[in-house]
């Protein structure tokens, strides 16, 4: 690792030795031992953060600021038991350079947080099978990881795309646990910790009122 005086895309803060063709920063493995998950948009006012984990399964605009002003949020995130890496979008219709850029940003932030003593859980993302060439670069093996199925289960093609990436992830990374945000497909049989998305919680609360 080395520092630079240039002021561009956070390289003035840190440049990490990279993995693969695109020099993706490496995230070190970690293990999970129970925590309540909350979205980043609720982190500032969270009570008992030492028992909570922060996730970024939100619209990108709600957390882009952790990239544009990373040092500003480190003291807040250091209070939490775990912090997931930001889930920057890798939509299949995004140009490849934008997808790689979002993958790089996720890993730079994760590595930077780990450098500041934050217990980071990697969020694994992919788009289509072509992304398998680089989308697992920098991810740890034999670690707890996190994934989201939100928006991928409403038609056959999207579901298959999700499952292709999911099974590729399992084969390559051999995760010890998988934190799963959203509905868990029947085809996913690993050691899964299910986090209910907001719409699921809202639906259950609505049903309980009846």
- 195 three-class SS: strand
**Cα 199 → chain centroid:** 19
Answer for the pair 127, 91: CB distance below 8 angstroms, yes or no: yes
Tell me what percent of the residues of the chain surpass a pLDDT of 70: 90
pLDDT at 200: 46
> For residue 197, is pLDDT > 90?
no
Instruction: Please report the sign of the dihedral spanned by the C-alpha atoms of residue 189, residue 33, residue 39, residue 76.
Output: negative
Q: Report if residue 198 sits inside a domain.
A: yes
In which band, very low, low, confident or very high, does the pLDDT at 196 lie, cut at 50, 70 and 90?
confident
Element (H, E) at 40: none
Which residue in 155, 159, 164, 176 sits closest to 135, CA to CA?
164
How many domains does the structure of the chain reveal? Answer: 1
Q: Report if residue 26 sits inside a domain.
A: no
Write down the pTM of the prediction.
0.89
- Residue 195 phi/psi, 5° resolution? -110, 125
Q: Encode pLDDT of 108-150 as tens digits.
A: 999 999 999 999 999 999 999 999 999 999 999 999 999 999 9
pLDDT at 206: 35
Answer for the pair 149, 116: CB distance below 8 angstroms, yes or no: no
Q: Report if residue 77 sits inside a domain.
A: yes
Q: Report if residue 42 sits inside a domain.
A: yes
Q: Report if residue 205 sits inside a domain.
A: yes
- DSSP H stretches of helix in the chain: 65-68, 70-77, 96-115, 156-173, 198-209
CA distance 72 to 78: 11
Q: Report if residue 68 sits inside a domain.
A: yes
pLDDT at 7: 55
Q: Report if residue 184 sits inside a domain.
A: yes
CA distance 126 to 103: 9
Element (H, E) at 52: strand 52-55
* Domain range for 102: 35-209
- Residue 50 phi/psi, 5° resolution? -65, -15
Read off the pLDDT of each residue in 7-16 and give the average, rounded to a whole number. 88
> Residue 84 burial (CB < 10 Å; 0-12/13-18/19+)?
buried
Q: Report if residue 104 sits inside a domain.
A: yes
Q: Encode pLDDT of 43-79 as tens digits.
A: 999 999 999 999 999 999 999 999 999 999 999 999 9
Q: Encode pLDDT of 141-193 as tens digits.
A: 999 999 999 988 888 999 999 999 999 999 999 999 999 999 999 999 999 99
> For residue 204, is pLDDT > 60?
no
């Amino acid at each position: 690792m080395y520092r630079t005086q240039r002021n561009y895309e956070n390289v003035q803060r840190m440049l990490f030795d990279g993995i693969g063709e695109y020099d993706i920063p490496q995230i070190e493995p970690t293990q999970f031992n129970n925590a309540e998950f909350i979205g980043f948009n609720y982190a500032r006012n969270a009570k008992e953060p030492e028992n909570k984990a922060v996730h970024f399964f939100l619209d990108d605009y709600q957390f882009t600021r952790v990239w544009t002003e990373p040092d500003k949020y480190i003291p807040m995130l250091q209070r939490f038991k775990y912090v997931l890496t930001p889930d920057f979008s890798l939509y299949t219709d995004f140009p490849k350079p934008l997808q790689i850029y979002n993958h790089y940003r996720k890993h730079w932030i994760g590595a930077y947080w780990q450098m500041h003593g934050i217990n980071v859980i990697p969020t694994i993302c992919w788009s289509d099978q072509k992304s398998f060439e680089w989308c697992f670069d920098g991810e740890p093996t034999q670690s707890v990881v996190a994934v989201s199925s939100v928006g991928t289960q409403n038609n056959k093609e999207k579901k298959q795309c999700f499952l292709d990436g999911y099974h590729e992830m399992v084969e390559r990374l051999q995760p010890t646990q998988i934190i799963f945000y959203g509905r868990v497909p029947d085809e996913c049989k690993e050691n899964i910790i299910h986090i209910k998305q907001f719409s699921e919680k809202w639906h259950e609360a609505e049903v309980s009122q009846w």
